[in-house]
Amino acid sequence: MAMEVEKEKQMEVRGEARSRRRRRWTICCAVTVGVLVAVVLLIVILAFTVFKAKRPVTSVNSVSLENLDFSLDVLRVRVDLNLTLDLGITVENPNKVGFRYKNSSALLHYRGKMVGEVPIPADEISAGEKKPINLTLTLLADRLLGDPQVYSDVFSGELPLNTYTKISGKVLLMNIFRIQVDSTASCDLTLYLSSRTVGNQQCKYKTKL
């Protein structure tokens, strides 16, 4: 009889020990899950507050004429035109993290037609940095062959042009969130042939996340 009582006590002790282990395991799991949830919430809060993605801005600082050669053939109603523009732009990254952009291009347009292009190599802009980029746009004369409007514009002494730059890249937040960003700068301008100057410049800037 005494042995049976002793066995029952031992079984009760073992049961209580197992119960305590289960409770500790449950508490440990609950604490771990709570910590993980708190960390995830903290990351999300930081990503959308302190580290919230802001829009990098591309702005045009200057457009100047580097080279210009043109001639009019009145009898044949023909024009030979060669010109090169110096384009100075700045890309500003207002984010708390770096902005990495891919290979892009700056384009030169004449009345909606692309007549020049220069590549912009991929690079990275540090947090809060303003990166100046100097470009040289050369008009491809063969793109204007057969366009009667060119003759009229050159004869009048004013050539309407447009420069267009698009910078596309990604902002990496907390090494987790990758946000696509596109920043464009489009400038309409007039090239005054007689004075060999650039004027009447009007620029529009657009950035989207």
pLDDT tens for residues 79-88? 778 889 999 9
Annotate 9-29 with b (16+ C-beta within 10 A) or e (fewer): eeeeeeeeeeeeeeeeeeeee
How many domains in the chain?
Answer: 2
CA dihedral (192, 198, 201, 204) in degrees, to 10, reads 120
Domain limits for position 82: 57-208
Is 1's pLDDT higher than 60? Answer: no
Q: Tell me what pLDDT residue 155 has.
A: 83
Question: What does the alpha-carbon distance between residue 61 and residue 188 come to, in Å, rounded to a whole number?
Answer: 14
Q: What is the CATH number of the domain that holds 108?
A: 2.60.40
As to burial, measured by CB atoms within 10 angstroms (0-12 exposed, 13-18 middle, 19+ buried), residue 137 is buried
Q: Tell me what pLDDT residue 84 has.
A: 92
User: pLDDT tens, 154-189?
Assistant: 888 899 999 999 999 887 765 566 778 888 999 999
> 65 and 150 share a domain?
yes
User: pLDDT tens, 99-136?
Assistant: 889 999 999 999 999 999 999 999 999 888 999 999 99
> 85 and 148 share a domain?
yes
